Structure 1
Amino acid sequence: MPVEEAHGTATERVIASARFINEHSSDVRVPEAGVQRAAREILERMQSTGYSAAEWKRHALTPSVADEAALEWIFVVDALNFSFWPTRADRAQQYMVTLDGTPYRGYWSLCAAVNRALREGVAITDARHYAHMTAEALAHVFRTDDPQAQEPIPMLAERVQVLREAGRVLEARYGGRFANMVAQCGGSAQRLVETVVRELPSFRDEHAFGGRTVCLYKRAQILVADVWACFEGRGAGRFADIGSVTMFADYRVPQALCHFGALEYSPQLRARLEKSEAAVRRGDAPLLLASGDPREVEIRGNSIWAVERIRRLIAAAGADVNAVMIDFFLWDYAKEHADAMREIPIHHTRSVYY
């Protein structure tokens, strides 16, 4: 059966895809009552804590100065921003990078590895360098603290391929600098997302679902959002259309959306995910959902739709909060309240898209 292509701008395609997935889902739903409760609680929490885009630069690992070096750092990190869930339940055996005495896991381990490499004199944020780095050199950059006891970074071979590909595109078409790509997009988030998706196959987060192509574009959109947050909406991060960017569908934010009641799984899917989590706790392999599996697409697409519904309700209440800020808040909340969410299972998918 032919697959219908999505139309419109990049983020219009994402919103249309999310709506389509929501309307044709069998195992995931976005309950309206839960969305309304979530919108109220999220807005209250964001207002009471003064949550803002400035949170991005307050972390010890993110660039503290918004300059061209920060742009290149952001590009490398978001090119590699995928698949961090561990296969070992024992935290001491998980992939970990320690920097300045602090151990980091998950996404932050990637940031720590990049910063460690820069301190060691490796030009890991220079496209003209990483486009030609050997697999051995990149394996050293992303080494875990204790290779004898800890698992390596997941999908190392794919990270090598993605980073080289990205570097060669920048080298061939943008003078070796992501800053040039940003400049050519003229302050448009839409144009930058579209450019990244067109130029870099690993960012082309598209899947067949229900007889049509659905577009989710997690990494392309978070790349734009990180530039916006780092520059606090000024200079290179001044995107007049940042409000058009959707949330970034991964495996952690859906967990937070379930916690807030804005996302629900069928009993069958919930049991499947819980069985996978139980396998990891026993030390066995998780039950993977393949990238593009209808259940995986439903989880991600409905997450986008849930956040879009939350965003619209918050906007109707008169608050100026975009989907980027809601996503950032939910991701931070999930990390900070991991123990409270332990009973909500995540899905296990190995993918370069998230």
Structure 2
Amino acid sequence: MPFVQPRSDAAERVLASAQFISAHSGDVSVPEDGVRQAAQEIMGQMTRTGYSTAEWKKHALLPSVADSAALEWIFVADALNFSFWPTRARREEQYTVTLDGVAYRGYWSLCAAINRALREGIDMTDAQCLADMTLERLAHVFRTDDPRTQEPIPMLDDRLQVVREAGQVLLVKYGGRFANVVAECAGSAQRLVELVVRDFASFRDEHQFAGQTVCLYKRAQILVADVWACFEGRGLGCFDDIDHITMFADYRVPQALCHFGALQYSPRLRAHLEQSEAAVRRGDAPDMLPSGHPWEVEIRGNSIWAVQRIRQHILDAGTSVNAILLDFYLWDYAKEHAADMSAIPIHHTRSIFY
């Protein structure tokens, strides 16, 4: 039976794509027993810790005040929220941004760099500034602490294209403000995803798999989720269909899902990922999966489907939760328990989509 994507809502297309990918995967699976056990364990931990959208603002680098300025910050951060995994095994040689005496790596280095630029008078939340960005200025914004010993931020040229596109589209279509994009969605999370993937090509996370076009939309959906979390579901962050948003398929959440038993790799895929991780630990280049490779799409699509199945088990048990909170929790868990999960390999892909 041919796969037919729903045409109406972007988030529904993601879920349909995830189900299709899961049904046609040869090397990644979502074991139901593992999903059931993961649901019990994750919900228990989230309940004990009182995990909620309030966790979002507890991070020192994120906007603490839910206002229009926060919207613009969130937009530029999520436009640039991709590809932070290091190629060097030693932490002191990895891309690092220190702010207020704290050294940040990974996604948090992006947030620190944006905040550092704002303090230096480079308004990364201004559409004209983004549209006029030069490679030299962006290199300054994303400079590492010690360029002599530390690797630079990956994909700087791609980040320049993304920044310029973001600024230009905002200026031409939305009066220079992402707040106007949010206003146009009229309280619909799915409509906001649709506008973003329609007008900003860098958010259009689509691939060919098993002869069909599948949609994953990681950055577009996390953009909506960050707005919702920042405003705690009120005001500009009030979306009546927020529960339709799926999880955000990257490379850390799949690792956490494997840890909880909700995601499983075939022996040949696992061997490939372990060899790639071993190369990084030796200081060699990893055997990267190109963006859109069947294995990469299987990992990401099955991650979305696994979280959907986990959520369904939790709902069936009488507890309300959406995929956004599950994703936030799993991502935080993966970061906090990195040492415990070091034996579970991640996949290595350089992509503007995550």
Tell me the TM-score normalized by structure 1.
0.98
Q: Distance in 1 between the 2:5 and 2:38 partners?
A: 33
1:143-292 matched pairs, under 5 angstroms = 143-292=143-292
Aligned match of 2:7 = 7
Q: Identify unmatched segments of 5+ residues in structure 2.
A: none
Q: Distance in 2 between the 1:130 and 1:197 partners?
A: 19
Instruction: Give yes or no for the alignment of 1:26 onto 2:17.
Output: no
Q: Distance in 2 between the 1:129 and 1:320 partners?
A: 42
Report the Cα offset of residue 137 of structure 1. 0.5
Q: Secondary structure at the match of 2:148?
A: coil
Aligned match of 1:43 = 43
Aligned match of 1:334 = 334
Q: Distance in 1 between the 2:37 and 2:288 partners?
A: 31
Measured on the aligned residues, the alpha-carbon RMSD in Å equals: 1.1
Aligned residues: 353
CA contact (8 A) 2:25 2:298 kept: yes
Aligned match of 1:104 = 104
Q: Secondary structure at the match of 1:340?
A: coil
Q: Which amino acid letter does the alignment assign opposite residue 236 of structure 1?
A: L
* Ranges of 4+ aligned residues in structure 1 off by more than 4 Å: 2-6
Q: Distance in 2 between the 1:315 and 1:170 partners?
A: 38
Q: Which amino acid letter does the alignment assign opposite residue 237 of structure 1?
A: G
Report the Cα offset of residue 8 of structure 1. 3.6
CA contact (8 A) 1:6 1:215 kept: no
Report the Cα offset of residue 99 of structure 1. 0.4
Q: Distance in 2 between the 1:133 and 1:297 partners?
A: 32
Q: Which amino acid letter does the alignment assign opposite residue 227 of structure 1?
A: V
Q: Which moved more, 1:7-16 or 1:326-335?
A: 7-16
Instruction: Give yes or no for the alignment of 1:311 onto 2:311.
Output: yes
Tell me the TM-score normalized by structure 2.
0.98
Q: Distance in 2 between the 1:187 and 1:144 partners?
A: 39
Q: Secondary structure at the match of 1:299?
A: helix
Q: Which amino acid letter does the alignment assign opposite residue 75 of structure 1?
A: F
CA contact (8 A) 1:3 1:211 kept: no
CA contact (8 A) 2:5 2:13 kept: no
Q: Distance in 2 between the 1:11 and 1:184 partners?
A: 17
Report the Cα offset of residue 3 of structure 1. 9.5
CA contact (8 A) 1:9 1:190 kept: yes
Q: Distance in 2 between the 1:18 and 1:348 partners?
A: 20
Q: Secondary structure at the match of 2:103?
A: strand
Q: Identify unmatched segments of 5+ residues in structure 1.
A: none
Report the Cα offset of residue 318 of structure 1. 1.1
- Structure 1 residues 6 and 352: CA distance shift in structure 2, 3 A: farther
Q: Distance in 1 between the 2:309 and 2:7 partners?
A: 21
Q: Distance in 2 between the 1:248 and 1:79 partners?
A: 14
Aligned match of 2:90 = 90
Q: Distance in 1 between the 2:290 and 2:8 partners?
A: 28
Q: Distance in 2 between the 1:4 and 1:46 partners?
A: 36
Report the Cα offset of residue 341 of structure 1. 0.3
CA contact (8 A) 1:189 1:239 kept: yes
Q: Distance in 2 between the 1:64 and 1:280 partners?
A: 36
Q: Distance in 2 between the 1:240 and 1:348 partners?
A: 36
Q: Secondary structure at the match of 1:137?
A: helix
Q: Which amino acid letter does the alignment assign opposite residue 118 of structure 1?
A: L
Q: Distance in 2 between the 1:175 and 1:148 partners?
A: 41
Report the Cα offset of residue 202 of structure 1. 0.6
Report the Cα offset of residue 331 of structure 1. 0.0
Q: Which amino acid letter does the alignment assign opposite residue 142 of structure 2?
A: F
CA contact (8 A) 2:3 2:20 kept: no
Instruction: Give yes or no for the alignment of 1:76 onto 2:67.
Output: no
CA contact (8 A) 1:86 1:94 kept: yes
CA contact (8 A) 1:6 1:213 kept: no
Instruction: Give yes or no for the alignment of 1:56 onto 2:48.
Output: no
Q: Distance in 2 between the 1:334 and 1:5 partners?
A: 32
Report the Cα offset of residue 7 of structure 1. 3.1
Q: Which amino acid letter does the alignment assign opposite residue 105 of structure 1?
A: R
